[in-house]
Amino acid sequence: MQQEVWGAPPHPLPPRLFGAAERPLLVELTLMRGREAARPCAAVRRALPAVAAVAALALASVLFPAAGAGPAPAAAAPAIWAHDSVGAVSPSQVWYLAEGATAGDFETWLLVQNPGEVPAEIDVKLHTGEGERQGPHDTVPPRTRRSYDLGEYAESYHVSSLVTASAGVVCERAMYGRPVVCLDPGHAATPSQIDPETGINTQDWINEPEIGIVYDIAVRAKAVLEAHGVRVVMTKASAYDPVNLKRRAEIANQARARMIVHIHADPGLSAPTTLYPGPAPYDWKANTETGRVARIDPAVQAASEAAARRFHAAMVAYLRQAEGTGDGGVVVENRGTTGTGNYGPIFSYDIWSEVPTFTLENNLAFADAHRQEIAEAVAAGVLSSL
Ligand SMILES: [Zn+2]
């Protein structure tokens, strides 16, 4: 969303357009963006011709109620935005809807109203950034409405619709936005495989009973986050889903997630700890037989560290309040203690990450006994760092 779009006052339109009155209306329009929900970023207050006022109101219907503005999760509003539009004055057999996106945070819905007395057979062609895709093909009965999630037909940031109908219909395009977050419950049995680019072994391993405990925590955290309007992508469909270390990062990358949270538990740990990737290279002699050195993207590293700090503060505050736990702090990954032998270094998933990435560790026994509390703390951390 560009500032110039939302900050610009409505352009004066010719009088009498659509038969509107010339009498000026006083319009006050407050536009809000991103994290600054409490502080309007642009305000328009002026006398406008009636038609311009309609345009202003249409613009104002695009709402951005502050994804992650940061209230405590117990009271957090869903980090959702939505888009509405004005109605049509007559049905038509052809509709062009140029705007739309179905990838990442975006949902686009096509709404078809058949106000007539005969069934309308509709055919939708989606013109996307990747070419034409077949959209919904359906018969809309008289005096009914059908809604179609275009994400079921194409995943793209560029989705426009061409609707043709056998009888006059009215079409509207509604868009909704939800932040996407990736949760990665640790461990899986995957084969030894050297990533050709980095020389790092992507092999993960089963770590009982951690694998089952952290998967359960992730599923619980997913439910809490979804209740707050967040779309959650999981790296695994079951506790033993064989997803290797590289694939975990790729899943978050493909989803364009705001962040990926790797969830682990370790018997040696005394208090909840959030680990982030440092800028140092991954110089894994045990895993890089060719001597290659892998580095995390500097921008991803910086974003990961910042997200980890925001996440940790809210996560630990929640657990302290709920369970009186201590604080293990926000620490840089110690890459010297894992990843020897045939397995990949556990934190090497960060190497392939294109989105902020960090790891939560809890004491294993504590995690086992406090799965729901940790899940809620994870959600609190994520919501605070969106
Ligand atoms: Zn682990």
Expressed in angstroms and rounded, the spacing between residue 188 Cα and the centre of ligand 1 is 10
What's the confidence (pLDDT) of residue 291? 58
CATH fold of the domain at 180-384: Aminopeptidase (3.40.630)
Q: Which two tokens stand for residue 142?
A: 């008289």
CB 202 within 8 A of CB 246: yes
Expressed in angstroms and rounded, the spacing between residue 372 Cα and the centre of ligand 1 is 18
| Tens-digit pLDDT string for the chain (386 aa) | 333 333 333 333 333 333 344 444 444 444 434 333 333 334 334 443 433 333 333 333 343 443 343 334 444 445 467 777 778 999 999 999 999 999 888 999 999 999 999 999 999 999 999 999 999 999 999 999 999 999 999 989 999 999 999 999 999 999 988 899 999 999 999 988 888 877 777 888 889 999 999 999 999 999 999 999 899 999 999 999 999 999 999 999 999 999 999 999 999 999 999 999 988 777 655 444 555 667 789 999 999 999 999 999 999 999 999 889 999 999 998 665 444 444 456 788 998 999 999 999 999 999 999 999 999 999 999 999 99
Expressed in angstroms and rounded, the spacing between residue 265 Cα and the centre of ligand 1 is 5
Q: Which two tokens stand for residue 97?
A: 């809807």
Expressed in angstroms and rounded, the spacing between residue 313 Cα and the centre of ligand 1 is 21
Residues ≥6 apart with Cβ < 8 Å to 314: 73, 377, 380, 381, 383, 384, 385
Expressed in angstroms and rounded, the spacing between residue 151 Cα and the centre of ligand 1 is 34
CA-CA distance, 150 to 110, in Å (whole number)?
7
Expressed in angstroms and rounded, the spacing between residue 216 Cα and the centre of ligand 1 is 14
3-state class (DSSP) for residue 248 = helix
Expressed in angstroms and rounded, the spacing between residue 328 Cα and the centre of ligand 1 is 16
**Any idea where the domains of the chain sit in the sequence?**
1-64, 81-177, 180-384
Helices (H) and strands (E) in the chain, counts: 7, 16
Expressed in angstroms and rounded, the spacing between residue 59 Cα and the centre of ligand 1 is 48
Expressed in angstroms and rounded, the spacing between residue 207 Cα and the centre of ligand 1 is 7
Expressed in angstroms and rounded, the spacing between residue 8 Cα and the centre of ligand 1 is 50
For 95, 100, 149, the CA distances from 162, given in Å and listed in that order, are: 6, 12, 15
DSSP string, 147-186: EEEGGGT---S-EEEEEEEEEEEEEEEEEEE--EEEEEE-
Task: Name the burial class of residue 226, with classes exposed (0-12), middle (13-18) and buried (19+) by CB atoms within 10 angstroms of its CB.
Answer: middle
What's the confidence (pLDDT) of residue 33? 41
Omega of the bond prior to 345 within 30 degrees of 0, cis?
no
What's the confidence (pLDDT) of residue 284? 55
What's the confidence (pLDDT) of residue 335? 63
Expressed in angstroms and rounded, the spacing between residue 176 Cα and the centre of ligand 1 is 36
Q: Provide the whole-model pTM.
A: 0.70
E-strand ranges in 193-278 read 231-234, 260-266, 273-276
Q: Which two tokens stand for residue 212?
A: 């089952």
Which of 120, 170, 178, 183 has the alpha carbon at shortest distance from 151? 178
Which of 245, 235, 344, 252 has the alpha carbon at shortest distance from 307? 252
Expressed in angstroms and rounded, the spacing between residue 306 Cα and the centre of ligand 1 is 22
Expressed in angstroms and rounded, the spacing between residue 187 Cα and the centre of ligand 1 is 6
> C-alpha 86: how far from its chain's center?
27
What's the confidence (pLDDT) of residue 157? 92
Characterise 193 by phi-psi region: left (phi > 0), alpha (psi -120 to 50), beta (else): beta
Expressed in angstroms and rounded, the spacing between residue 236 Cα and the centre of ligand 1 is 15
3-state class (DSSP) for residue 276 = strand
Residue matched to tokens 């970023």: 41
Expressed in angstroms and rounded, the spacing between residue 336 Cα and the centre of ligand 1 is 15
Expressed in angstroms and rounded, the spacing between residue 278 Cα and the centre of ligand 1 is 19
Regarding beta strands 25-31 and 42-48, do their DSSP bridges make them parallel or antiparallel, or are they unpaired?
A: antiparallel
Expressed in angstroms and rounded, the spacing between residue 282 Cα and the centre of ligand 1 is 19
Expressed in angstroms and rounded, the spacing between residue 267 Cα and the centre of ligand 1 is 10
Expressed in angstroms and rounded, the spacing between residue 348 Cα and the centre of ligand 1 is 13
Rg (CA), the chain: 25
Expressed in angstroms and rounded, the spacing between residue 300 Cα and the centre of ligand 1 is 22
Q: Does domain 81-177 have CATH number 2.60.290.11?
A: yes
Expressed in angstroms and rounded, the spacing between residue 361 Cα and the centre of ligand 1 is 8
Expressed in angstroms and rounded, the spacing between residue 193 Cα and the centre of ligand 1 is 19
Expressed in angstroms and rounded, the spacing between residue 345 Cα and the centre of ligand 1 is 11
CB 274 within 8 A of CB 312: yes
C-alpha dihedral, 46 to 50 to 55 to 59, nearest 10° = 50
DSSP string, 73-102: GGGPPP--EEE-----SS-EEEEEE-----
Q: Quick one: angle between helices 371-384 and 210-227, nearest 10?
A: 50
Expressed in angstroms and rounded, the spacing between residue 231 Cα and the centre of ligand 1 is 24
What's the confidence (pLDDT) of residue 77? 43
Expressed in angstroms and rounded, the spacing between residue 204 Cα and the centre of ligand 1 is 10
Residues in the chain, overall count: 386
Expressed in angstroms and rounded, the spacing between residue 262 Cα and the centre of ligand 1 is 9
